[in-house]
């Protein structure tokens, strides 16, 4: 199952990018055995200032046709890392070929795009900067692959 991180905003060089690259490289290596990956990052940017609706249109164009759509949203399901791993593994095992994980901009995800989502994930009731959410979901993807493989990374 290919994973596509479809995100609002451009990430410049720095510690967040270094962490994301590291975790996604680890995921690509460890997830392969379970039919997970590769992961790609598609960044969109609303240069015209059209707000959430314009961002949603750009994100829709970035999402591969036929993808399972998961959004990062504070109203989503708060889950444990093992539950997230089970969800990913289940999608891969049932033939989902593409998973798009969407991270919105500073104002979140447009309600129309949120309504199209198959699943919504939350990292808690706090609002996180979208660049940190990118780091956190990248780490959780790697952790999920590690859990599915029975690796030592996740200690529960």
* Candidate from 45-49, 120-124, 142-146 with smallest mean pLDDT: 45-49
CATH 3.30.200.20 fits 2-148, yes or no: no
What are the tens digits of pLDDT across the range 100-138? 999 999 899 999 999 999 999 999 988 888 889 999 999
Please give the biggest Cα pair distance in the chain: 47
Domain coordinates of the chain in residue numbers? 2-148
CA pseudo-torsion sign 33, 65, 39, 115 = negative
> Can you give the pTM of this predicted structure?
0.95
Give the confidence band of 152 by pLDDT, cuts at 50, 70, 90. Answer: confident
CA atoms within 13 A on the CB side of 95: 1
3-class secondary-structure state, position 43: strand
Q: Mind listing the pLDDT tens digit for each residue in 61-109?
A: 999 999 999 999 999 999 999 999 999 999 999 999 999 999 999 899 9
Q: What is the pLDDT of residues 4-41, one digit of tens each?
A: 999 999 999 999 999 999 999 999 999 998 899 999 99
């Amino acid at each position: 199952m290919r994973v596509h991180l479809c995100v609002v905003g451009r990430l410049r060089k720095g510690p967040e990018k270094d962490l994301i690259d590291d975790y996604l490289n680890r995921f690509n290596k460890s997830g392969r055995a379970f039919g997970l990956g590769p992961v790609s990052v598609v960044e969109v940017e609303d240069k015209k200032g059209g707000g959430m609706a314009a961002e949603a249109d750009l994100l829709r164009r970035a999402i591969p046709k036929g993808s399972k759509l998961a959004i990062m949203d504070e109203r989503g399901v708060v889950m444990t890392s093992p539950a997230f791993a089970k969800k990913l593994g289940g999608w891969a095992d049932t033939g989902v070929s593409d998973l798009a994980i969407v991270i919105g901009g500073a104002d979140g995800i447009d309600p129309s795009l949120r309504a199209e989502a198959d699943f919504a994930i939350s990292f808690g009731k706090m609002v996180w900067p979208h660049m940190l959410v990118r780091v956190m979901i990248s780490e959780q993807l790697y952790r999920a692959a590690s859990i599915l493989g029975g690796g030592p990374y996740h200690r529960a």
